[in-house]
Amino acid sequence: MKIHIKFLATIREITGEPEIELEIHSGDTVEAVMRVLESRYGMEFKEATTGTTAGGIPKIRIMVNERDMEFLSGFETELKAGDIMVLIPPVAGG
């Protein structure tokens, strides 16, 4: 089964693509998918996404079907065919 993953802003720059489809297995979680993406895109991707700030806050927001994963089951959120994940890095400006 496949899910759709969208990369925004600096994450898109790291991956070199705006979105992908990824084959997953029944029971796969957001955490499992992030590990696959880290393997595919390397250390820069890992540091920009699943690392945390000094205060322990995740560096990005991960949305699953337009809902923040933190309001679902966090990294243990199970994914199913057709789900859409969006990786949103922090945005700063003045």
Task: Tell me the whole-structure pTM to 2 decimals.
Answer: 0.88
- How far is it, in rounded angstroms, from Cα 35 to Cα 60? 15
7 pLDDT exceeds 90?
Answer: yes
- How far is it, in rounded angstroms, from Cα 7 to Cα 27? 23
Q: Give all domains of the chain, ordered by start, each with its CATH number.
A: 2-88 (3.10.20.30)
Which residues are CB-contacts of 60 (< 8 A; sequence separation ≥ 6)?
Answer: 11, 48, 49, 87, 88, 89, 90
Segment 22-74, tens digit of pLDDT:
999 999 999 999 999 999 999 889 888 877 655 555 688 999 999 999 999 99
